[in-house]
Amino acid sequence: MSIELIAYTRNVEETSLLIHDVNIDSVICGHSMFSLRTLGDVDLDELIEIRKLTNQYNKKLYVSVNAIFHEDMLDELTSYINKLDALQVDAIIFGDPGVMSIVKEQHIKTKLFYHPETLATNYKTLRFWQDIGVDRVVLSNELSLDEIIEIQNNLAIPVEVQVQGMTCIFQSKRPLVSNYYQYTSMNKEEKNAYFIRQAKEDDTHYPIFEDVNGTHIMSTNDICMLKHLPQLFDNGICKIRVNGFLKSMDYNVEMAKCYREAINVYMEDSDIYASQVTQLMEKIEVLQPKHRKLDTGFYYKKQIY
Amino acid sequence: MQTELLAPAGNLEKLKFAIHYGADAVYIGGKQFGLRAKAGNFSYEDMVEGVNFANKYHAKVYVAANIIAHNDDLKGAEDFFRTLYEIGIHAVIIADPSLIQLCKKAAPNLEIHLSTQASITNWRAIQFWKDLGISRVVLAREVSVEEIKSIKAHVDIEIETFIHGAMCISYSGRCVLSNHMTERDANRGGCAQSCRWKYDLFEETNENESQIITDDAAFTMSSKDLSMVEHVPDLLNLGVESLKIEGRMKSIHYVATVVNVYRKIIDEYKQNPNNYILQQTWIDEIWKAAQRSLTTGFYYHTPSDKDQLFGKPERLPKYDFAGLVLDYDPQTKLATIEQRNYFKIGDDIEFFGPKMHLFKQTIKEIYSIDDEPLTEARHPMMKVKVKVDQPVNTYYMMRKRK
C-alpha cells in the first residue's frame, strides 16, 4: 500500500515549498479558464517550470481541467489538452465528458482522473468511468466513510478523497454577488472577499466568490480528517488531498506538513497514532483561522432524502 | 421529427390534463429513482393506465429516474427499468451512468434521455453520450440560443430544452446547499430550496473582520421562472426536438394553462411561419398561471439582477382555479362543475378549454346537483351546475381573479 499526499499549488514557489518542506507526493494546479477552484491561475510558462521542478524531485503533477465547458471554449480546450499532453503532465483531471471526446479524438496519452465534484457517488458509476479508461476517480465530498470504502472495494482503480479544507457546495453560471450589487446600486470592488451567513445561524460563514466559471459557494467548516486517517488507510483509501483553497501559501504548506507527519507516524507505528496526533491537532488549531471551524464533513454523517 | 411539447405530470390526473391540452409527451416519476420525492408519483398500475391513455392520443410517456445515486440506491433498478419497458413507457430520463448501465442491461430497447442534472453544455459532451447510445440529451439551463445553434451544427442527436418553469439558480446537480444546511440530499430528491432562503452578505475586510453589506436588502439567490412564451419560434427554427415545461409539483390548472398556450403557439407558427404574430392573449394566459416573475434565463444573455428575485415579490395577477367541468348539457346550457375554490352568483369568471378556447362571463345561475337553486358553491369538491354563456366540455376549467 502506498499512501499519496496531494496538495494544490499556485506557483513555482509554493511547489518548491511543498516539495522541500512537506515532501509532498503530488501537486495539482490549473487555470480558472479550464478548471474549477484551483489555488491560483497557473499559466503555461509557469506550468512548464512546475513540471521541471516536479520531474527533478520525482513528484507527480496533475493539471485540473474540470470546468463545465460551453461551446466557445472548445477550441481552446482542445489546444490546452494537447499542450498538457506534450508537457507530459502525470494526469489531466476532468469533470466534463466533453474532455473524454477530445482525448479520444486527439489520441491523448496522458492519464485521466475523473473529478465531477457532486457526481461521483457510487461504485457502478465509477466503474463505468474506469471501464472507459479513467485512471482514478475523485469522490464527491458528500459521501460517508462506509460508502467510500464500499466504492474502493468495488473498483480496480484508486479513489481520491479530500481530507482537509473547505469544499465547494454550489456553482452557478450567474454572477450572483455582482447581481446583488447591481440591484442595490452599490459598487463592487473586483478583489474583495465575501461570505454569506444563514439567517439565525450567526456562526455560519460560507465564502462566496465569482470568476469566469460563475459564482461559487464554499462550505462553512473545513474538513479535518487528520485524527481519523488510519480508518482511511486501513481500508485502502490511500490517495488523500489537502485543499488550501482561499488560504495563504503559508497555511497550505504548514497544513500539508501536518498531514505528512501524520502519515509518517502511521507508517512507523500505527498503534501509537492516536497518542501522537494530539500534538499535530494542536498545531492545526493554531494554524486554523478563528472563523473557520473544523469538522469531519460527511464522513460520519447520515443524510436523508 | 416534429417538435414535441413535453409536459410534467405529477400524477394520473395531471397526465390526462396535459395530454388533453395538447402535450405530445409527458414525463412522470416512479416510486423510486426520481428527484421529486414529494410529487404524487406513479405506481406501476398508474403507469399502465397513463400509457394506455397516452397511446390513445398518440402521446408518449417518459419516466424521470434522474437521481445521482449512492451505492445503496441501486437495488431494484433492473426490475424497475424492465417493468417500465414492459408497461410500454417510451423513454426514461437518467443522469447517473450507473442507472444508464442498469437500464441498458435490463431493458436494452428502452430509450434513454440524458437528464439536465448531468449539466450538458457543449457538443463534445453530447458526442460522448451519443457514442454510448443515448438518443436524446436535455440541455443544461445555462445554454443559450446561439450555443444550441452551434451544438446542432456539430452533432446529430435529439435536443430537449426547457421553455417554461422554475429553475435551479445553480448548474443543476452541482448544488449541495441543501445537503450542508439541512442534511437532505438535493441530488436524491431532498432539495430544501436553500438557494431561495435569505442570507446576510459580508465583505471580509481583513483576516478576522468583516463588514455586513446586506443592511437594507437581504441577499438571496432566487431566480425568476423561465418563460420562452415570446420566443418559441427561435427554438423551433433551430430544429430543437423537444420543448419541455417544468413542474411535476404544479396543479392541473397550471399544467393545462401553460400547455394550452405553448400548444397554440407551436401550431400557429408551424402552420404559417411567415405570418406568425405573437398574441397578447397568450402572454396574458401564461401570467395567469405564473407563480413568480418571468425571465428568458440564459437564452439571450447572462442573467442579471433583473432576472433574479430580490426584495418584495412583484405583484402578479392571481387567479384561483374555481372549478372543473365534469359535464355539459347543450339543451339546458348547464355545466356540471366540481368546486375547487369558492364562487358565487355575480362573480366574474373565465372558462377555458383545449385549443385556447377562452371566454369570460358573470355567474348568473347556480344549481345543486338535484337542480335546487343555490347562491354559492361553498364546499371543496362539491358538484354544482352553472349556466354557461358558451358550450363547454369535460376538462374545461373555470378560474376566478382573486
Helix (H), strand (E), coil (C) string for A95-155: CCHHHHHHHHHCCCCCEEEECCHHHCCCHHHHHHHHHCCCCEEECCCCCCHHHHHHHHHCC
DSSP B221-268: -PBPEEE-TTTHHHHHHTT-SEEEE--TTS-HHHHHHHHHHHHHHHHH
Whether B204 and A195 have beta carbons less than 8 Å apart is answered as yes
CA dist B283 → B222, B286, B291, B311, B357 (Å): 23, 5, 14, 25, 15
All CATH 3.20.20.70 domain ranges in chain A, comma separated: 4-166+223-295
Set of cell numbers at residue B204:
471580509
State mean pLDDT over A184-203.
Answer: 87
CB of B251 less than 8 A from some CB of A: no
Set of cell numbers at residue B55:
397511446
Cα A75 off chain centre by: 26
pLDDT in tens, B3-18: 999 999 999 999 999 9
CB of B101 less than 8 A from some CB of A: yes
For residues B241 and B113, what is the distance between their CA atoms, to the nearest angstrom? 12
Sign of the Cα torsion B46, B48, B52, B54 reads positive
State mean pLDDT over A258-268.
Answer: 97
Query: Which of A12-16, A190-194, A228-232 bottoms out in mean pLDDT, i.e. has the lowest?
Result: A190-194
Average pLDDT score over chain A? 96
Interface probe with A: pick from B68, B149, B314, most Cβ of A within 10 Å:
B68
State mean pLDDT over A264-285.
Answer: 93
Q: How many residues does chain A have?
A: 305
Interchain proximity B210–A198, CB inside 8 Å: no
Collapse the DSSP code of B360 into the 3-class scheme (helix H, G, I; strand E, B; otherwise coil) and give the result: strand
Total CB pairs under 8 A between chain A and B? 209
pLDDT in tens, A111-155: 999 999 999 999 999 999 999 999 999 999 999 999 999 999 999
Whether B138 and B244 have beta carbons less than 8 Å apart is answered as yes
Domains of chain B: 4-167+223-307 (3.20.20.70), 319-401 (2.40.30.10)
Instruction: Give A297 or B217, the one with higher predicted confidence.
Output: A297
Nearest-CB residue to B176 (from A71, A118, A172): A118
The DSSP output letter for B138 is: E
Q: Which chain A residues are within 8 Å of B204, Cβ to Cβ?
A: 192-195
For residues B168 and B187, what is the distance between their CA atoms, to the nearest angstrom? 12
Instruction: Give B51 or A192, the one with higher predicted confidence.
Output: B51
Q: Tell me, yes or no, if the pTM score tops 0.90.
A: yes
Interchain proximity A197–B74, CB inside 8 Å: no
CA B146-B152-B157 angle, 5° bins: 145
Looking at the domain A4-166+223-295, which fold is it? TIM Barrel (3.20.20)
Collapse the DSSP code of A264 into the 3-class scheme (helix H, G, I; strand E, B; otherwise coil) and give the result: helix
Interchain proximity A125–B217, CB inside 8 Å: no
pLDDT of A169 reads 98
Pick the closest to residue B226 from B140, B144, B163, B309 (CA basis).
Answer: B163
Whether A252 and A216 have beta carbons less than 8 Å apart is answered as no
User: Is A43's pLDDT higher than 80?
Assistant: yes
Q: Can you count the helices (H) and strands (E) in chain A?
A: 10, 14
pLDDT tens, N- to C-terminus, chain B (402 residues): 689 999 999 999 999 999 999 999 999 999 989 887 666 689 999 999 999 999 999 999 999 999 999 999 999 999 999 999 999 999 999 999 999 999 999 999 999 999 999 999 999 999 999 999 999 999 999 999 999 999 999 999 999 999 999 999 999 999 999 999 999 999 999 999 999 999 999 998 876 778 888 878 889 999 999 999 999 999 999 999 999 999 999 999 999 999 999 999 999 999 999 999 999 999 999 999 999 999 999 999 999 999 999 988 888 888 999 999 999 999 999 999 999 999 999 999 999 999 999 999 999 999 999 999 999 999 999 999 999 999 999 999 999 998
For residues B281 and A8, what is the distance between their CA atoms, to the nearest angstrom? 57
pLDDT of B38 reads 65
Whether A98 and A74 have beta carbons less than 8 Å apart is answered as yes
For A:60-79, CB contacts with B below 8 A are 68-74
Whether A90 and A111 have beta carbons less than 8 Å apart is answered as yes
Q: How many CA atoms lie within 13 A of A204 on its CB side?
A: 17
Whether B10 and B27 have beta carbons less than 8 Å apart is answered as no
Pick the closest to residue A233 from A159, A124, A297 (CA basis).
Answer: A159
Whether B113 and B92 have beta carbons less than 8 Å apart is answered as yes
Cα B346 off chain centre by: 33
pLDDT of A190 reads 76
Whether A85 and A107 have beta carbons less than 8 Å apart is answered as no
pLDDT of B365 reads 97
CB of A199 less than 8 A from some CB of B: yes
pLDDT of B309 reads 94
User: Is A191's pLDDT higher than 80?
Assistant: no
Pick the closest to residue B97 from B140, B139, B129 (CA basis).
Answer: B129
Set of cell numbers at residue B368:
345543486
For residues B21 and B396, what is the distance between their CA atoms, to the nearest angstrom? 10
pLDDT of B37 reads 65
